[in-house]
Structure 1
Amino acid sequence: MYRKTLLMFCLLTLVSCGVKNNSKLTGKKVKSKELVSKEQYRTQQRKVEEQRRVQEDAKREKERERKTTNKASETLVATSSISVTTDMIKDYILQYKDIAKDNMSAYGIPASITLAQGVLESGSGQGTLSRNANNHFGIKCHKEWDGPSVRHTDDAPDECFRKYEAPEESYRDHSQFLVSRSRYSDLFLLDKDDYEGWAHGLKKAGYATDPKYANKLISLIERYTLDQYDREVLGDRPAKAKKETQKEVDNKKTETQVASAKTHTVQKGDTLYSISKKYNTTVAKLQKTNKLDGTNLSIGQRLKL
């Protein structure tokens, strides 16, 4: 009996010791697991923090790029509001400067004014009217227009604007539009290199409703030195006259006809522009000499030269 009791006591003691040891081991394992978990957590936190910094740096860089881009661009507002870059404006000027110079020679409108209006009114060719209708000057239909047209909201909703087959037609019609309307007649009394006078004159005559229209034109002309094209045309006149005189010497018959002609009888297909080229004059002079209000001609009509 005593031996059994002693044996049971020993067994209980051994079991008790085993449980304590297991508890200690389990505690160590738990602590070890806890330590590993905290280290992983810190590592993950560092990764999250690093990603956040990268995202913030990217955001700041994007904001700097946006501000830099804005500094190199401007918004042109005429028949629509268009944001364009300096390069887009320069490309537009290079594309249409020769047309503007030719029209200056033919109609007497400074190339600088024509180009500045084209840049502003068409948004450097990016505006809705210029893209959809080749209308670079925002010219509305008016009652005499019988050509194609488009609808566009400007001063009023759904207004009628002229549509052209090509931008060159828009440039020519712009010149004819100005020379054919009496309200712009005072402009042609100004010097051809007086772009400031022309800009203010256009605004005064009602070409645009924007109170800053004249200043916008002047700013474009001065920032992009558009008046250089006026000087090129004005400076080319003696050279052109000399070249034409040489041609006339080579062709005495043509020289005699041109020199002796006092009038011109309008033939089929004639326009004021073609007649002005034939007799080395301008559309404005022909209109003034013959007291013409517009550009319409009749076959058989006799014009003074």
Structure 2
Amino acid sequence: MKRIIIVFCVAAFFFSCKSKKAIVTKKRTDRTERVERTVETPAETQTIETPTTTKVYANNTERYIDEYKDVAQNEMRLYGIPASITLAQGILESGSGRGRLSVEANNHFGIKCHEWTGARIYHDDDKSQECFRKYKDAKYSFRDHSLFLTERRRYSPLFSLKKEDYKGWAKGLKAAGYATDRKYPDKLISLIERYNLHEYDKAVLGNSYTPYQPEVAENQQTTYTVSKGDTLYSISKRYDTTVEELQNLNGLTDTTLSIGQVLLVKPTSKN
């Protein structure tokens, strides 16, 4: 009996070993790839500086012309005063913008106070410490110059001249008493021709511009019709003669003139 039990136990043990399964635990490893991406960001905005062109001027007069030519041309369009005359007067009166009146008072034309009620400056001129007008900006000086010429009767003969006739304008300004310098017309004409200021008149007038030769025109003209504001003195200066000569040519005993009166201004074979 004992033998049977022993055999049975041995058989049972052997069977259990055969049927027993090994449990294998398999670990699963997940492999995660790490991808590094380089994100390109826009380059910083670069400010490209455009090189500025600095104008080079031969002298202060050229600088003055470049700075005020547009103002003078605009005044010509509005008031009929040749830009060449305005620029030449500005150059001469202001010392090309470097004179005391222009620097401290923006007065480019040496216009005195007269009935002026605005700011003023005192400066030695024909007399000591004379009163001159003072402006906030130079452009107001140019405008006052235009008004000064258009609103005063003694300058009215100028506006009967052709805009191209800068020589006639220069002589007319002196004849009307704008300046006391006997060489004032010659100085204006010299500036206009040296710096070709008449080209600014041409730009304003466009197709209506016709080159004017005052010497030829005046040499051919023997008579002049008196207009408002004319005097024997202003007419004599315009035609490079004298008051006495005009009186002799026209049989005048005094200096009285009437508008529309026709005067002989140059001798002819008949007179």
- TM-score range (shorter-chain normalised) is 0.5 to 0.7
Secondary structure of the corresponding residue to residue 59 of structure 2: helix
- Aligned equivalents of 1:213 and 1:163: distance in 2? 24
Matched, 1:201 2:153: no
Identify which of 108, 112, 130 aligns with 1:159: 130
TM-superposed CA distance for 1:175, in Å, is 0.4
Aligned-residue CA RMSD (Å): 1.7
Where does residue 104 of structure 1 map in the other structure?
76
Give the TM-score of the pair, scaled to structure 2: 0.55
Deviations 1:26-47 (A, max 9, x none): xxxxxxxxxxxxxxxxxxxxxx
2:65 matches 1:93: yes
Unaligned runs of 5+ in 2: 1-56, 210-227, 229-271
Cα distance, 1:86 vs structure 2 = 4.9
Residues of 1 paired with 2:198 and 2:58: CA distance?
Answer: 18
The alignment-based identity, stated in percent, is: 63
Following superposition, the deviation at residue 237 of structure 1 comes to 7.4
Matches within 5 A, 1:1-305: 86-142=58-114, 144-235=115-206
Structure 1 residues 111-137: Cα deviation after superposition (integer angstroms, max 9, x where no partner): 000000000000000000000000000
Q: Which has the larger radius of gyration?
A: 2
Kindly provide the amino acid, as one letter, of the partner of residue 164 in structure 2. Answer: D
What amino acid is the match of 1:109? I
CA distance in 2: counterparts of 1:166 and 1:184, whole angstroms: 25
1:87, distance to aligned residue in structure 2 (A): 1.6
Q: In structure 2, do the counterparts of structure 1 residues 148 and 236 end up closer, same or farther at CA, with 3 Å as the change threshold?
A: farther
Whole-Å separation in 1 of the counterparts to 2:199 and 2:128: 38
Letter in 1 for 2:161: L
Partner residue in 1 for 2:258: none
Moved segments of 4+, more than 3 Å = none
SS at match of 1:178: helix
What's the secondary structure of 1:126's corresponding residue? coil
SS at 1:102's partner residue? Answer: helix
Unaligned regions of 5+ residues in structure 1, if any? 1-84, 239-287, 289-305
2: CA distance, partners of 1:206 / 1:140: 13
Identify if the C-alpha distance between structure 1 residues 200 and 141 changes in structure 2 by more than 3 Å, giving closer, same or farther: same
Q: Secondary structure at the match of 1:150?
A: strand
Letter in 2 for 1:172: R
Write 1 or 2 for the structure with the bigger share of helix: 1
For normalisation by structure 1, the TM-score amounts to 0.49
Which residue type is aligned with residue 62 of structure 2?
A: K
